[in-house]
Structures are given as C-alpha cells and as structure tokens.
Structure 1
Amino acid sequence: MYAVIFRAEIARLDEEYGQMAARMRELAIQEYGCLEFTSVTEGNSEIAVSYWSSKEQISAWKQNAEHLVAQQKGRSQWYASYRVQVVEVVREYSA
C-alpha cells in the first residue's frame, strides 16, 4: 500500500475550491481506486493523505484531466506553496 501526503500553505480558498476538493476526492475514490482520502485544514495549513494499492494508480490519478486543472488552480490561486510525498506503507497497526 502507498500513501500520498499533500501539505500546503493556503493563500486563498473560495467556494470553487470547496467544490473542486469534493470532486477530486470523489474522482480519486470512484475512478482511480483510492482506498481512503482524508484532509484537514487548520489556520493557513492543509494536509491531505490518500491511500492507494499501487504506484500505477497514483500516476494515473496525477494525469487525470480534471485533476490537472485542479493542480493548476492550486498553484495559481489557492496555495502559496505545497509539498507532495509518495510513501510506501511498511507497517500498520491499530487498537
């Protein structure tokens, strides 16, 4: 299993952002096999973590036409800066 960790410094969020974020979550899960997608915003920081079965799913998701538009708007309108990390989950446990 893999996780994509997206961290951003927010420049400005608007109504379009909320709609786009909901659509991106729906698309990732329904069409690209995302197992789980969680995001949290606090102050001017946002973190989103999504879980995937394969790197190929992540790559396909990254190249989706709607996602490419969202990425461009993120860079030009919504985020002052961002960082994306793709990591392999080597252990998981819970209580």
Structure 2
Amino acid sequence: MYVVIFRATVDTIDHEYSQMTEWLREMALNRFGCLDFVSMMDGDQEVALSWWPDLESIHKWKKESDHLMAQRLGKEKWYKSYSVEITKVEKSYGY
C-alpha cells in the first residue's frame, strides 16, 4: 500500500475549487482504486492524504484528464505552491 501526501499553500478558494476537489475525491475513490482519502486545511495550508493499493493506480490517476485539468488550474489560480510525496507503507495497525 502507498500513501500520496499532497501539501499546498492556497492562494484562492472559490466555488469552482470546492466542486473540483469533491469531484476528484469521488472519482479517485470510485474509479481509480483509491482506498481512502482525507484532507484538511489550517489557514492557507492544505494537506490531503490518499491511500492506494499500488503505484500503477497512482500513475493512472495522475494521468486522468480531469485530474490533469485540476493540476493546471491549481498552478494558475488556486495554489501559491504545492508538493507531492509518495510513500510506501511498511507496516499498518490500529485499534
């Protein structure tokens, strides 16, 4: 299992942004194999974590046309900056 960590400094949040993030979340979960997805905001800082079964699913998601459009819009109008990290989960347990 892998976790994608998306961190951004937000410039502008508008109605289009909110609609896009919800659409992308649902698409990732329902069509691209995403296992779970959570996001949070603190001031102008956004963090989104998504869990994936394998790297292939992540690569397919990255190339999806609506996701590519959202990436372009993010650079053009929503984010001052962002970063993405992909990590492999070595161990997972909980209560």
| TM-score, normalisation: structure 2 | 0.98
Shift of 1:42: 1.0
Structure 2: segments with no counterpart, 5+ residues: none
1:53 is aligned to 2:53: yes
Q: Deviations over 1:19-78 (max 9, x none)?
A: 000000001011100000000011000000000001000000000000000000011110
Aligned residues with identical type, % of pairs: 43
Residue 91 of structure 1: how far off its partner (Å): 1.0
Compute the RMSD of aligned alpha carbons: 0.5
Hey, what's the Cα distance between the residues in 1 that align with 2:48 and 2:93?
20
Which residue is 2:75 aligned to? 75
Corresponding residue for residue 84 of structure 1 = 84
- In 1, distance between residues paired with 2:9 and 2:91? 29
- Which residue identity lines up with residue 10 of structure 1 in the other structure? V
Matched positions, count:
95
> 1:90, 1:19 → 2: CA distance?
34
Deviation of residue 94 (structure 1)?
1.4
Work out the CA distance in 2 between the residues paired with 1:28 and 1:36: 9
Letter in 2 for 1:39: S
Look up the equivalent residue of 1:69 and give its one-letter code. Answer: M
